Amino acid sequence: MKAAIDFGEMDAILTKYGHKANNIIPILQDTQAKYRYLPREAFSYLSEKLGISTAKIYSVATFYENFSLEPKGKYVIKVCDGTACHVRKSIPILERLRKELALSETKVTTDDLLFTVETVSCLGACGLAPVLTVNDKVYPAMTPDKTSELLAKLKEAN
């Protein structure tokens, strides 16, 4: 289910960035922070307000890996697969997560919109490898079993 966007909230974001088209990246970041993804309605609204085409905004949004055009889960789990995490076995952690949540490389979000599982190339916390983050909280020195426990705890909290 895709919720319609709140134009009042969009206006607040636009005001914060002075309705300037060259602030499109922070505007999209704030929009994504609100909705956990970039809703389609936001494109036409921003296009009208900023005077740039929806194709141009789509261009920016698809260029950066961080922007998502699909709704993301309440918990966005990012598994680090940088060199340090990779050699300290991040892949089994990723596989465990995908198995337990019935996700894959192409299907990254659970149907109940609770979890999204992604990989990142480096979180800059190589000393804590292997690392994953849930939303912005960092979980260091993970193992597949610790990951299962974490998932169970998160599910319980809901």
Partner 1 sequence: MSTEFMLIDNVPVEIAGEKNILAVIRKAGIELPTFCYYSELSVYGACRMCVVEDKWGDIHASCSTPPKAGMEIRTNTPRLRKYRKMILELFLSNHCRDCTTCEKNGKCKLQELAQRFGIKQVRFNNTSGEPDLDTSSLCIVRDRSKCILCGDCVRMCDEVQKVGAIDFAHRGSKMRVSPAFDEPIAKTNCVGCGQCAAVCPTGAIVVRDDTARLWHDISDRDAKVVVQIAPAVRVGIGKEFGLAEGENVMGRIVAALRRMGFDEVFDTSTGADLTVLEEAGEFLARLHKGEKLPLFTSCCPAWIQYAENNYPELMPNISTCRSPMQMFASVLKEHYRHSNRRVVVVAVMPCTAKKFEAARDEFREDGIPNVDYVITTQELVKMIRESGIVFSEVEPESVDMPFGAVSGAGVIFGVTGGVTEAVIRRLADDKSVSALRALAFTGVRGLKGVKEASIEYAGREVRIAIVSGLRNADNLIRQIKSGEKHYDFLEIMACPGGCIAGAGQPVTNEEGRKRRSAGLYDSDRMSSIKRSEENPVIMALYSGLLKGKVHNLLHVEYRRKA
**Displacement of CA 77 from its chain's centroid (Å):** 8
CB of 6 to partner 1, least distance (A): 21
135 binds partner 1, rule: CB under 8 A: no
46 binds partner 1, rule: CB under 8 A: no
CB of 53 to partner 1, least distance (A): 3
- Name the one range near partner 1 by CB under 8 A: 9-17, 49-57, 87-95, 121-129: 49-57
x/- site string to partner 1, residues 77 to 96, per CB under 8 A? --------------------
Q: Which of 54, 110, 143, 148 binds partner 1 (CB under 8 A)?
A: 54
Q: Which of 17, 58, 67, 139 binds partner 1 (CB under 8 A)?
A: 58
- H-assigned helices in the chain: 7-16, 24-35, 40-50, 54-63, 83-87, 91-101, 144-156
CA separation (Å) from 4 to 45, 74, 100, 112?
12, 17, 31, 18
57 binds partner 1, rule: CB under 8 A: yes
Q: How far apart are CA 18 and CA 146, in angstroms?
A: 45
Q: Which pairing describes strands 132-134 and 137-139: parallel, antiparallel, or unpaired?
A: antiparallel
Q: Which of 59, 66, 104, 121 binds partner 1 (CB under 8 A)?
A: 59
The answer to whether the beta carbons of residues 36 and 72 sit under 8 Å apart is: yes
Q: How far apart are CA 83 and CA 81, in angstroms?
A: 6
53 binds partner 1, rule: CB under 8 A: yes
Side chain identity at residue 22, one-letter code: N
Nearer to partner 1, 22 or 53 (CB): 53
Where do contacts with partner 1 occur on this chain (CB under 8 A)? 40, 43, 52-59, 62-63, 69
